[in-house]
Structure 1
Amino acid sequence: MTLNGKFYDSYADEASCRPISKFKLEDEPNDPEVIKNLILDELLLDVNGKQNLATFCQTDLDKNIHELMDKCIDKNMIEKDEYPQTAEIENRCVNIIADLWNSPNPTDTIGCSTTGSSEAAMLGGLALKWRWREQRKKEGKPTDKPNLITGPVQICWHKFALYFDIELREIPMEQDRYLMTPEEVLKRVDENTIGVVPTLGVTFTLQYEDVKSISDALDQYQKETGINIPIHVDAASGGFVAPFIQPNIIWDFRLPRVKSINGSGHKYGLSPLGVGWVVWREKEDLHNDLVFEVDYLGGLMKNFTLNFSRSAGPIVSQYYNFIRHGRNGFAKIHNACVGHGVFIGEQVNKLGIFDIIYDGKTALPGVAWTLKKDANVNFNLYDLSERMKIRGWQVASYLLKIVEKNIVIQRVLVRHGFSRDMAQIFIDDLIRSIDHLQKHPLVSKTNHTDCQSSIKKSI
């Protein structure tokens, strides 16, 4: 390549012939094309998103989303007076989601976009606390010991409880019971319970908790005690799956006790990172003390998010997905993903050394399994995950914390952008990895039970 009549190559440039700066700014600028290439080269070392079967997040985005994201890169979602049409698109998304989740009045409820479902979950939790505290003050009762009931939840609820001074009563998993049940909820609720949080798509096993049964149990509890305990549904993943492919499951605003729901647009909502959503059943379910009026951005604006400045791109992309796919499009996409997950589960089960914990048929697209107790193998599941990385596959292996005995499980998530051909390649690579580890064990004759015992002692 020539530049101004002279030979030039970006990899012969001075910036390419020395280590890239890591700890401080250099004094002089560099050629932007060279620096872009150097950074892109480093990013090649990251995993291929389509082979990342550990993440819930969407990794396959069409060219139109890339264009919309580019057009919105300079739009600050919080500045609604400057970007009124973008604000209108956000409001449309809230109304569409409220309708999707069977709000009694989807055009006149309240909700907002967030940076992800974790922020949305915390907003739902804060609304529960404020309503509980207000009621306790009216009754002349103390407000210093709020508690929240959950099943096995992801880290955001632990953060919420710590940050906002709430006792988290997380129902532990037991042998053959991995989810919250009405019986376990009723063991823990009392007058200080600000709410119960069932999960529609548990992080660890992909299963849905039975929101309706829990709601029915709380109805009966209220009749017996007079204590009215609301529900917030953490539908981070299932909120954009169940309405399309499991519409008969009653989990949403069809249940009067459900006061708020959070969901993640950048998971099964098919949108790019990072957008989440929270919707309240009625405007009254979001306490006025949590709403701030901001007037220094050009006009009077109400705000009730934890974060502030962020790109409008993911929100606009969410609207694009809603309009492009419609209900039937989402259903077709997610049903295809379910089919791939079921196929993987069936093939894994045929290998004879695994117990299937979740078969992919009734909740999120994917599958989870553990090694059989009597499996005669020379590896554990962590070894298998590491071996699969050689072919680029990311497969989550982690402890399932069960009362008295932890077990290690593997979980595969199937998202839009995955095909049956890729599923078959995955299975072929899994079989090759197992064969290799059997012939070349990473630890000498250490079976998976011993490995799990040593892991348990270390935690």
Structure 2
Amino acid sequence: MVLSEHVNADKLLSNLTGKGDEHAIRALIASHTLRDPYSSKYNSQEPIPKFRIPEEGCEEKQAYQLIKDDLDLDGKPNLNLASFVNTYISDRAEKLAVENLTKNLADADEYPALMTVHARCVSILGHLWNNTDHEKAIGTATTGSSEAIHLGGLAMKKRWQEKRRAAGKSTEKPNILMAANAQVALEKFARYFDVEDRIIPVREASKHCLDLSKIKENLDENTIGIFVIMGSTYTGHYEDVQGVAKILDEYEKETGHSIDIHVDGASGAMVAPFLYPDLEWDFRVPRVKSINTSGHKFGLTTAGLGWILWRDAKYLPKELIFELHYLGGKEESYTLNFSRPGFPVLHQYYNFLHLGFDGYKQLHASSMANARLLSVFLEATGHYTCVSEIHLPANGSKPKDVKHVATADPLQYMAGLPVVAFRFSDSFRKAHPEVPQAAVSTLLRVKGYIIPNYELPPSEQKTEILRVVVRQSMSIDLLDRLMEDISAITNVLLEAVEDVKKLRAEGDHDPQLIHKYVLTLVTGKPVEEREEDWEGHSTFRAAC
């Protein structure tokens, strides 16, 4: 959540105008302004309250319309290709959510049926993540993966402290390992709960993820655990959970120190079970003591739902569990938040029932096919190279034809998230070093897309990548349009560079050329000017 400062509206208006009587200024403006067409009490004479609660309210329909109009300035969720968060909800799921909008997930005594649904979801996830027969997973819904990660980290810290106290050793200076590509929630845990974060640099050879060769040198008796990421937010790669576990097994044999794994499966824990069932990253790996995921990402619920599961109750320290009696019955709580809405849990259960295993598999396979198509297209242009690898055959052979890419089982390709991370190709950068890659992101934004351009983690920050998250809401038509727009914008940039070179070569400031160059950048497309528009340079007639 972004921190916000109080704004004194009267002082701000006074400072902007240089006058003290802001009411007189508003009256002056009102004398030249039509009244609000919605016939609201708020109009040019009485502006909408923004920083102070009004003395008197307004009618419901007016409050609704005013806020609705404000929100028209938001972007289009379907064109936000930067976010992993699902924004689609079916009519039936929305109806279910609205009917249960006021139910509090923290109040088990009042809403026992809701808590039963919650328990079912935990059980479903436990089975999905291959909880063993001799263990019984325990877990809870959270407010996104951030809270879930903090709980997983706290449990590791408390288990470590308990072992240290039993051995008569100090519990000071705990540390935890994670790769430099870790999402900020992992670093927040370390900072908020006084744990040293040992950040392992990434490199191209480690696929910009956790570098297994650097793990042992960062371990010691104060290491409480290691975060392993199933689905890097940078490139979509899965980190090698089994490889990490093997290193920790060896370290325990050498030193006697047992170190646990928490899997950050914010995205991948709801993709891998359906598309890569034989990939062992979950509770099949004994070192994995806890897993988190985001229901609102590839679990396909709306925003605000995360999950944390421990492989067995013995891995959830009693120190984290609180017993409550003041809501009417006996309840146990081990979340950081207390009161929170229950409808996201109902949405999750609805998805489990409606889609089933095959439905999730079909939707995620479709997203993966679209991501592979986009990857193949980008590389075929010669302008781009993909840093993500989901379009590469798993057997190491050359990429297949487009039909195979679009229809093949995901198992035939490298595992990962339906994410396309790409950059200018080496040949393009060599031929056009003056073209800024960030401009591609900017010009796509003009067309309504949100596609970020950002640096890779420290040690590789000289490399910038663009990233597209392919969610279930991306249709083949939208994908086709996106490919056309990326190609067109790249050509626009090349033309703009040629215009600049021409300007420099001519050594003058030809307004026609400058006008064309600026419009090219602003509109994201080449602009053809008519000679009569520039007769004597006395008129300015830009395209509408």
TM-score by length of 1: 0.92
For residues 410 and 190 of structure 1, the distance between their equivalents in structure 2, rounded to whole angstroms, comes to 37
Verify: 1:314 aligned to 2:341, yes or no.
no
**1:35 to partner: Cα distance:** 2.1
1:53 to 59, 67, 81: 81
Q: Tell me if the contact between 2:455 and 2:461 (Cα under 8 Å) persists in the aligned partners.
A: no
1:52 deviates by 0.8
Structure 2 residue 129 is matched with structure 1 residue 76:
no
- Name the residue aligned to 1:365: 418
Aligned partners of 2:85 and 2:437: how far apart in 1?
A: 23
Instruction: Indicate how the Cα distance of structure 1 residues 444 and 195 shifts in structure 2: closer, same or farther if over 3 A, else same.
Output: farther
8 Å Cα contact 2:36-2:42 kept in structure 1? no
Q: Specify the alignment match of 1:300 in structure 2.
A: 330
1:71–1:10 distance in 2 versus 1, CA, 3 Å: farther
Distance 1:63 1:360 in 2: 32
- 2-side partners of 1:262 and 1:171: how far apart? 21
Higher relative contact order (CA 8 A, sep 6+): 1
Deviations 1:124-163 (A, max 9, x none): 0000000001001111111101110112201111111011
Contact 1:15 1:34 (C-alpha < 8 Å) held by counterparts: no
CA contact (8 A) 1:10 1:33 kept: no
Q: How many Å separate the matches in 2 of 1:263 and 1:429?
A: 33
Q: How does 1:434-445 map to 2 (within 5 A)?
A: 434-440=490-496
Listed as ranges, the gaps of 5+ residues in structure 1 are: 1-7, 446-459
The alpha carbon displacement at 1:12 in A equals 3.4
User: How big is the shift at 1:360?
Assistant: 3.0
Distance of 2:103 and 2:134 partners within structure 1: 27
Q: Which residue of 1 aligns with 2:186?
A: 157
Separation (CA, whole Å) in 2 of partners of 1:68 and 1:440: 52
Match of residue 48 from structure 2: 20
Residue number in structure 2 paired with 1:145: 173
- 3-state SS of 1:440 partner: helix
Q: Work out whether residues 181 and 210 of structure 1, in 8 Å CA contact, stay in contact via their aligned partners in 2.
A: no
Of 386, 402, 406, which residue of structure 1 is paired with 2:442? 386
Percent identity of equivalent pairs: 38
Paired position in structure 1 for 2:527: none
Aligned counterpart, 2:472: 416
- Residue 330 of structure 1: which of 336, 360, 376 is its match? 360
1:382-421 Cα offsets, whole Å, 9 max, x none, are 2111111122111021111242652111110011111111
Q: Is the 8 A contact 1:15 1:35 kept in 2?
A: no
Q: Could you tell me how far 1:9 is from its partner in structure 2?
A: 9.0
Partner of 1:457: none
Asked if 1:276 is matched to 2:332, the reply is no
Counterpart Cα distance in 2 of 1:444 and 1:110: 62
- SS of aligned partner of 1:243: helix
The one-letter amino acid paired with 1:126 is L
- Deviation readout 1:154-191 (Å, 9 max, x if unpaired): 11111110111101111112243311133221121111
| Other structure's SS at 2:453 match | strand
Q: Which moved more, 1:181-190 or 1:213-222?
A: 181-190
Matches of 1:65 and 1:185 in 2, distance apart?
Answer: 44
**Distance in 2 (alpha carbons) for counterparts of 1:108 and 1:173:** 35
| 8 Å contact kept, 2:136–2:311 | no
Match of 1:450 in 2: none
Larger displacement relative to structure 2 (42-51 or 281-290): 42-51
Q: How many pairs does the alignment contain? A: 438
The aligned counterpart of 2:285 is 255
Partner of 2:320: 290
Residues 279-338 of structure 1 show CA distances to partners (whole Å, capped at 9, x for unaligned) of 001100000000001111111100000011110010110000011111100000000000
Tell me, what secondary structure is at the counterpart of 1:319? helix
Question: How far apart, CA to CA, are the structure 2 residues paired with 1:291 and 1:13?
Answer: 51
User: In structure 1, what is the equivalent of residue 538 of structure 2?
Assistant: none
Cα distance in 1, alignment partners of residues 326 and 133 from structure 2:
32
For residue 199 of structure 2, what is the amino acid of its counterpart?
E
Secondary structure at the residue paired with 2:164?
helix
- Letter of the 1:244 counterpart: F
Compare 408-417 and 28-37 and name the one that shifted more. Answer: 28-37
Shifted more, 205-214 versus 183-192: the winner is: 183-192
Residue equivalent to 1:208: 238
Quick check: 399-408 or 160-169, which moved more? 399-408
Paired letter, 2:490: I
Other structure's SS at 1:42 match: helix
SS at match of 2:205: coil
1:109, CA displacement in angstroms? 2.3
SS in 1 for 2:218: coil
1:425 to 478, 481, 489: 481
Q: Which of 64, 67, 73 pairs up with 1:36?
A: 64
Aligned to 2:145: 117
Q: Is the 8 A contact 1:384 1:433 kept in 2?
A: yes
Whichever residue aligns with residue 363 of structure 1, its letter is G
Partner amino acid, structure 1, of 2:71? L
Contact 1:150/1:198 (CA < 8 Å) preserved in 2? yes
Matched residue of 1:12: which SS? Answer: coil
Is residue 359–residue 366 contact of structure 1 (8 Å, CA) maintained in 2?
no
